[in-house]
Chain A
Amino acid sequence: MAALSSYTMSSSTPAFSFQQAPQTSSAAGGTTQHSFYPYTDNGGSTLGISGDTFTIIAGDTRSTSGYNINTRHAPKLFRIGGDGPTHKNARIVLSVVGFAADGHALQERLDTLVKLYRYQHGKDISVHACAQRLSHILYGKRFFPYYVTAILGGIDEEGKGALYSYDPVGSYEREYCRAAGAAASLIMPFLDNQVNLKNQYEPEAAQGLHKPQLVAKPLDRKTTEELVRDAFTSAVERHIEVGDGLQMMVITKDGIEEIVSPLKQD
């Protein structure tokens, strides 16, 4: 057998077993195709708007698999930091939409890091620092990403509302408003128009080539809450993966207020 394995044949002769090992795996009997796909989409939508003294983050509570509704109550909003499992005294909220299992893992990682930050430094992390940390977590899994769109909200060091939005690999930006998830394409244009006043012009201005744009100003809390509600009731009408319940978290300097209200279940 030793002779056999050291023997090499010329290419013109018929090839036999041991000697002619196919050099690439593309030949028959090579590696099998991976048929396991490690992601799924659990639907749903989230949105965040920041004001002068508050940030509102909202999400529906439906979880889906294809055309099935898994459950009518699966929160996409998570308090980050604070004390223990109840997150008492937390001032940061993370929303995740996309693949729920990744979203959950991401939430737990960020929460643990923020809690360790407090343990090690004896003070709460700032939203700014937490936002950058979240970006690094996402980027760290650049080649096997957390398949989620995250929005992080809180109150910054000046007491103003802060909102950060992310893509699945950690690119992030501070914004005034952002919609994410299944109905993002339905909600975002509405927000552009109502929050950033896109395509709205001075009514009195002369109708000519020059039309002065309306300048966006931070909204008050009541108006913002109404906008959020309207955005979701509309999204529910047009998107099958959105519905069942609306979870809103309002972050102010005094803490996080949670409001859960029903949405259509159809």
Chain B
Amino acid sequence: MFRNNYDNDSVTFSPQGRIFQVEYAQEAVKQGSVVVGIVSKTHAVLAALKRNAEELSSYQKKIIPIDTHYGIALAGLASDARVLSNFMKQQSLASRLTYDRPIPLAQITARIGDRAQTNTQQYGKRPYGVGLLIAGVDAKGPHLFEFQPSGVTQEMIACGIGARSQMARTYLERNLDEFEGSTREELIKHALRALKDSLSQDKELTMENTSLGVSGVEEDFRMYEGQEIANWLETTFERAEEEGGESMEVDT
């Protein structure tokens, strides 16, 4: 039976120039539930779909506030994300202590990018099996960064990663021009709609399975869950129905 000989470690290229371990790690990201991020001129928003392993268990944490000015959303191995978020928390505190300033998002993203890259070039290491969206506001305004297990990081206007995220990205691409000028509320609705689009037919966004993270200019990063997002869910999907968009089932 055919067996791939070039995927035993992350330091060996295949003859086609691929590093399979890194690609497999990227598959782990696709196993995670979907997360979406969007930025406007004034705000950065994260939206995430939480999964519970079984009815009796709690929902997996998808959004982690790191510092007052930013937070992350994760798709993939939650435990790897925890390691990365601890590192980010430390770096953020260090920046506050040594320079008395919030760490620039480009800088913290570069730091975790570098960390992830070393895992792909040293024998015996394993790439992080998690993708992150880093969203927040620094001295240069609102930002959204995407982080991949390969160590690749990019600044984005809007982004979706995780299972079935292609549908979310399609929504984001279609509405790309609207984001920049969006208000806080509009941006949140866009994020929720993008999230909703990635769901399978039989699934719904509910208070229990949705998380939001919002930060803006002069507004600290804050996570919204449960009852706090009930209103947004209601108004977002009511309007979609009125506009005659894709038909959705709304709880009444």
Let me know if A84 and B97 touch, CB within 8 A. Answer: no
Question: Which of A58-66, A112-120, A157-165, A183-191 lies on the face that meets chain B?
Answer: A112-120
A152 to chain B, nearest CB (A): 20
Let me know if A83 and B93 touch, CB within 8 A. Answer: no
A104 to chain B, nearest CB (A): 11
Let me know if B89 and A84 touch, CB within 8 A. Answer: no
Let me know if B96 and A116 touch, CB within 8 A. Answer: no
Query: Taking the complex as formed, is B146 at the interface, i.e. its CB lies under 8 A from any CB of chain A?
Result: no
A206 to chain B, nearest CB (A): 63
Q: Mark B63-74, 1 if CB is under 8 A from A, else 0.
A: 000011100000
Let me know if B68 and A83 touch, CB within 8 A. Answer: yes
**A112 touching B89 in the complex, CB below 8 Å, given contacts A83-B220, A84-B68:** no
A85 and B69 alpha carbons, distance in the complex (Å): 11
Interfacial residues of chain B within 88-108, with CB under 8 A of chain A in the complex = 89, 93, 96-97, 100
Chain B residues with a Cβ closer than 8 Å to the other chain, count = 9
Interfacial residues of chain A within 183-213, with CB under 8 A of chain B in the complex = none
A83 and B69 alpha carbons, distance in the complex (Å): 10
B68's nearest neighbour on chain A, judged by CB, is A84
Q: Mark A62-84, 1 if CB is under 8 A from B, else 0.
A: 00000000000000000000011
Residues of A within 8 A of B68 (CB): 83-85
Let me know if B97 and A112 touch, CB within 8 A. Answer: yes
**A115 touching B220 in the complex, CB below 8 Å, given contacts A83-B68, A84-B67, A84-B68:** no
**B89 in complex: contacting residue of A85, A108, A116, CB < 8 Å:** A116
Interfacial residues of chain A within 82-99, with CB under 8 A of chain B in the complex = 83-85
B129 to chain A, nearest CB (A): 23
A91 and B169 alpha carbons, distance in the complex (Å): 44
B222's nearest neighbour on chain A, judged by CB, is A83
Let me know if B220 and A85 touch, CB within 8 A. Answer: no
A interface with B by C-beta (< 8 Å): 83-85, 108, 112, 115-116, 119
